[in-house]
Amino acid sequence: MREVAVLGVGQSTFGKMPEISAAELGRDAVLAAVKDAGISPRDIQVAYSSRLYDAVITSQDVLKEVGVTSIEMINVENACAGGSTAVRGVWKEIASGHYDLGIAIGVESMTTSPIARKLIPPQKDDIEGQLGLTMPALFGLLARRQMAECGATPEDFAQVSVKNHHHGCLNPYAQYKKEFTVEEILNSRMICDPITLLQCCPNTDGAAAVVLCSMDIARKHTTNPVKIAASALLSAGYSWKRKDITSSPLGVETARRAYEMAGCGPEDIDLVELHDAFSTEEILRYEDLGLCKPGEGVAFLRSGAPALGGKVPVNPSGGLLSLGHPLSASGVRVVAEVTTHLRGQAGKRQVQGAKVGLAHMLGGFAVGLEAGACGIHILTR
C-alpha cells in the first residue's frame, strides 16, 4: 500500500439554494479543490462521487461542468456516510497504485430533493417508520437513555448546540452564524422530547470535494503534505445484539480499526469533526471515538474539552448543527475541514498546533440494524 496525501480541498456555499443544481454545487466544490491543489481539472484520473437523492451518474454530471470527461468515474451512496465512502474509494485507488491522483466529491441538493422540507421518510418495508419512528424520534429515545444512564440533562444537550453554533460563527461557510444561549436552545420548538428544534441539524444544500494523490506527487507541490493515516469504513451490526442503545458497537469498532491503522490512539487526536445530526448525538460519539471512557461523555462535555481551546476541540467548523447537513457532502466536508486545520489555514476557528485530526461520519437507518455505516479518516501532518 502506498501513502496517500490530501492535495486540495474545497466546498461550495452551504445553504438553502433551490435555484442552484446539484451539478453546479459540485462544480463549485471541485473548482475550489482543484485550485487549492494547484492542479488542472484534467489532472484528475479517477473520481468517486456520493449523493443520495435523485442521484444518477453524479460524477459525470459534476465533472462535465469543469471539462473532465472520459475517465473512470464511480458513484456511491451510503446514507450520511456516503461522503466518507467516496473519500475511501479514492484513497483505495491511490493506495493500491491503480491511479496517482483522484477526486472525491460529495453533493446534496436537499431543497430540490423529494424530501425537501420533510423528514427522511421510512421505506415501505420499514414497520418502525410506519409506526412513527423518525431520526429525531430515534435520537429522542437515545437521549432518554443518556439521561437515565449517564446523568445527562437537557441543559447538557443544549450546551452541545451552544458550542457548535459558537464555532459556526467563526466559520465563513456556516449556514447559521448566530450565537445561542442554553435557554434559547431549550425554548425553541419541541421536536421529539427532549430534543428541540435548535438541537437538530438543518436541511441544507452543499457540496465538498477533496483531491487525493500519491505522496510522490504531493511532495512536488508541498514540503509538508497532509497524509491520510487511516481510512476505515464499516457497516452496522444487528440491533438485537445491543442491550444498551447508548453504546455503539459500530462506532467503537470503526474507530478501533482507524486507530490501529494510523498507529495512534484517541489521546493523540488534536481535533475531531463528527456527525452531530442532533446535539445529543455528539455526546455519544465522544465515547465511540474513545475521547473519553464509556458513560463519561457528559463529564467530557462539561469539562470544556470539546470546545475550541479545549483538549480536543470537536466540530470546530460548527458541525452539522450550524453548517447544515447536505447528507452526502458532509463526509467529504469533514475531511476538508480537518485538512484545513492541519495546514493552519482555518482562520478564527483554527485549532492551534493541530497535527493529527479525525474526520467521522455516520448514517443510515434500517429496522434491525444499529445504523447504516460509519466512516472514519485520520489525517496527520
Binding footprint of another protein on the chain (CB under 8 A): 119, 122, 127-128, 130-134, 136-137, 140-145, 148, 189-195, 238, 240, 245, 367-368
Nearer to another protein, 208 or 284 (CB): 284
- Polymer length of the chain: 381
Q: Are 244 and 145 in contact (CB under 8 A)?
A: yes
DSSP annotation of 360: E
Q: How far is the CB of 134 from another protein (least distance, A)?
A: 7
Minimum CB separation of residue 253 from another protein in Å reads 18
Alpha-carbon distance of 329 to 253, in angstroms, equals 23
State the nearest-atom distance from the C-beta of 191 to another protein, in Å: 6
Which residue, 223 or 241, has its beta carbon nearer to another protein?
A: 241
* Under 8 Å between Cβ of 283 and 297: yes
Cβ-count burial of 148 within 10 angstroms (0-12 exposed, 13-18 middle, 19+ buried)? exposed
CB of 247 to another protein, least distance (A): 14
Q: What angle do CA 284, 245, 273 make, to 5 degrees?
A: 25
Q: For 75, phi and psi rounded to 5 degrees? A: -120, 125
Beta strands at 205-214 and 4-11: parallel, antiparallel or unpaired? antiparallel
Minimal distance in Å, beta carbon 119 to another protein?
A: 8
C-alpha–C-alpha distance, residues 11 and 59, integer Å: 15
Spatial neighbors of 97 by CB under 8 A, at least 6 apart, are 2
Active-site positions read 80, 325
Cα separation, 179 vs 3, whole angstroms? 41
> Judged by CB, which is closer to another protein: 58, or 146?
146
d(CA 164, CA 205): 19
**Location of C-alpha cell 459558537:** 166
